[in-house]
Chain A
Amino acid sequence: MEASKRQLAMVMDLNKCIGCQTCTIACKRLWTRDEGMEYMWWNTVNTQPGRGTPRDWEKSGGGFENGVAKPGQLPTRSEFGEAWEYNHKDVFYGGKGKKAHLEIQGEKPEWGPNWDEDQGGGEYPNSYYFYLPRICNHCTHPACLEACPRKAIEKNAENGIVTVNEDSCRGYRFCMEACPYKKIYFNQAAKVAQKCIFCFPRIEQGVANACARQCPGRVRFVGYRDDKNAPIYKLVDKWKVAIPLHPEYGTEPNVFYVPPLAPAAFDENGEIDESRSRIPMEYLESLFGPAVNESLAILKTEMDKSRNGEKSELIDLLIAYKWKDMFGGFDKDPATIEWVKS
């Protein structure tokens, strides 16, 4: 595979994510409403620590180990979470008043895409959680693409977006085994693999991804990785505060995270212990690798500067005073998109 000339990327600031799932719904409404896509959530937001979507995806292999492909598991539909049917008709139109309440129809599920929401980890008074939004990482070294025996997965040479060519895909699902982030779904109706497309039809018309544009928390930055005047380059390469999730998987993700800051922990006497973070550093290192220490240290330094009335380019960037500055030039109004029916 030849390297793409440029790479589109996203940065998500976990300090601003409120877990509202607006991104999830923006994506769902736009891309995964066809038959066979009912259970798909190309964008997910899960509570950390947690088992995630699909369940226990971090323990399911794939990716690379010492540069060699590592076997991975195929997540089942129930591990992702089925699309439940509700008795909407009864509740909203059935004339049953308060006698009917919203209930899942059929078999009671034991898992779903946001099943362990807000459970988090730690013991009171040091309990903690944060939200982790995820999309396809549009990796520089995509395990999915390399696993496919049909070369049905393509990395766009101009912008690095990774897509499944559904005309070539025969539904063999080696990509699902190989993706260590478990961000590929199988469409049983169309018999092909499907995944986040980084909203390329919007991007092509200068409009940022739906998940980014719809985010009420100004969490997501979009743009070319090498655009030195735009936030991605500044957050990832200049300030080095945005880092990939599970870099040890070896796929070189192009979605980066500003890791979550946390207050100091309480000690056994209920006193604040400034030496320890409420979110254990070991836990953050297990997600983001050792780079998370430096990232948080830079954030703290710059926050202090800002508190002391000094100017901090980093903090100004993260606050995102100007919403449209987050989109690396992809800031056109979605209403300007000319949709072409295929």
Chain B
Amino acid sequence: MRAVYAKTELESLLDPESGPWRAQAGESIQLMGTPVGLQPTEAIRVAWMGKTIGAIGSVRVAAIHNGDVLAFRLDWEDPDEDAEVLDNDSFPDAAAISLPAAEDAPMVLMGAAGKPVNVWYWRADEADSARHLTAEGLGTSRTLDVKTVKARGIWKEGRWQVVIAREMNVNTPGAAQITPGSEIGFGVAIWEGSHKERAGIKAFSVDWKQLTIDPTNAGGKA
């Protein structure tokens, strides 16, 4: 997959329905539920044993960068909009992009000791404060900050369209650094709130997908 270079303002990139995104069909990525045996606590394993994990089967992903910011648009079918936590047993929809922050950081295990994964996380009930996370294994995710990652989601006609973006280079230890013209791996995860998915209970893209970051001299073809 390509992250297309486009001379676009951040505001426009953050709008999943803006012109630059309309020009990008993106690529459909199959998702799989996280294995119950990998859940970090026994209570979660016994609670989810035999239940379906990963209610969302696929997501369409497109990527654009403007030289400074890399943005992903995720688009998936979801008949239930879970944008608010209405009761103790109600959970929000969420989505995340993960990037290796060290060479050979494992995607399936959300990183490993000394091999962190950098996660850009959007949650429907925290629409204005996407999280910048780091993780070195399942159950170890830690918030780096709530300012660096920008995200915006629109739920319409049974679909979520969510843009998750970040400056390609940031001064945050544990963050992935991205260079135009390079090739990187990325992963994607979706949590379906109506299915009580949260934490490690999610649908994910299993392994790193390749993403070519177009060079900025590619001519701005968007």
User: What 0/1 pattern do residues 58 to 89 of B give for CB contact below 8 A with A?
Assistant: 00000000000000000000000000010111
> B125 — nearest CB in chain A belongs to which residue?
A191
Residues of A within 8 A of B125 (CB): 191
Q: How far is the CA of A80 from the CA of B87 in the complex (A)?
A: 11
CA distance A173 to B198 in the complex (A): 9
Using Cβ atoms and an 8 Å threshold, which residues of chain B touch A68? Answer: 42, 46
Residues of A within 8 A of B200 (CB): 149
Report which of B46, B87, B88, B199 forms a contact with A149, defined as CB distance below 8 A: B199
The answer to whether A177 and B87 touch (CB under 8 A), given A146-B41, A147-B41, is: no
Chain A residues lying within 8 Å of B47, measured Cβ to Cβ, are 71-72, 174, 177
- In whole angstroms, how far apart are the Cα atoms of A151 and B46 in the complex? 18
CB-CB under 8 A from A146, the residues of chain B are 41-43
In angstroms, Cα B88 to Cα A74, docked, is 7
Query: Is there a chain B Cβ closer than 8 Å to A323's Cβ?
Result: no
Number of contacting residues on A, CB 8 A?
30
Residues in B with CB closer than 8 Å to A69 are: 41-43, 45-46
B89 touches A74 (CB 8 A): yes
Q: A146-B43, A149-B39, A149-B139 are in contact. Are A172 and B198 (CB under 8 A)?
A: yes
Please measure, in the bound complex, the distance between the C-alpha atom of A241 and the C-alpha atom of B139, giving whole angstroms: 41
How far, in whole Å, are A294 and B43 apart by their CA atoms in the complex? 34
- A184 (CB) vs chain B CBs: closest residue: B88
Q: Does B185 contact A (CB under 8 A)?
A: no
Are B42 and A150 within 8 A (Cβ)? no
Give chain A residues whose Cβ lies under 8 Å from the Cβ of B138: 149
Please report the total number of B residues contacting A with Cβ < 8 Å.
21
A188 within 8 A of B: yes
Residue interface bits A157-190, CB-to-B below 8 A is 1, else 0: 0000000000000111110111000000110100
Q: A219: CB under 8 A from chain B? A: no
CA A177 to CA B199, docked complex, whole Å: 14
Known A-B contacts A149-B199, A149-B200; the reply to A174 vs B44 at CB < 8 A is yes
Q: Does A315 contact B (CB under 8 A)?
A: no
B19 within 8 A of A: no
Contacts of A76 in B (CB 8 A): 87-89
Q: In this assembly, does B220 line the interface, its C-beta being within 8 Å of a C-beta of chain A?
A: no
Q: Which residue of B lies closest to A61 (CB)?
A: B47
Residue of B nearest to A171 (CB): B85
Which residue among A74, A78, A185 has the maximum number of chain B CB atoms within 10 Å of its CB?
A74
Contact between B139 and A151, CB atoms less than 8 A apart: yes
Q: How far is the CA of A177 from the CA of B46 in the complex (A)?
A: 12
Q: How far is the CA of A80 from the CA of B199 in the complex (A)?
A: 25
What separation, in Å, do the CA atoms of A71 and B125 have in the docked complex?
A: 27
**CB closest residue in chain A, given B85:** A188
Does B40 sit at the interface, judged by CB under 8 A? Answer: yes
CB pair A191 B88 closer than 8 Å: no
Max chain B CB contacts within 10 Å: which of A78, A149, A150, A173?
Answer: A149
Contacts of B44 on A, CB cut-off 8 Å?
A: 147, 149, 174
A231 at the interface (CB under 8 A from B): no
Assess the B43–A143 pair: CB atoms within 8 A. yes
| A178 to B46 Cα, complex, angstroms | 11
A170 touches B199 (CB 8 A): yes
**Least Cβ–Cβ distance between A62 and chain B, in angstroms:** 8
From the candidates A143, A170, A176, A178, name the one contacting B88 in the complex (CB within 8 A): A176
Query: Is the pair A148, B88 in contact by a Cβ cutoff of 8 Å?
Result: no
> How far does the Cβ of A299 sit from chain B's closest Cβ, in whole Å?
37
Residues of A within 8 A of B43 (CB): 69, 71, 143, 146-147, 174, 177-178
- The answer for the CA separation of A149 and B42 in the assembled complex, in Å, is 10
Measured between beta carbons, the chain A residues less than 8 angstroms from B45 are 69
In the complex, 11 of the A-B residue pairs with CB atoms within 8 angstroms, ordered by the A residue number, are A68-B46, A71-B46, A76-B89, A147-B42, A149-B41, A149-B44, A149-B199, A173-B89, A174-B41, A178-B43, A191-B125
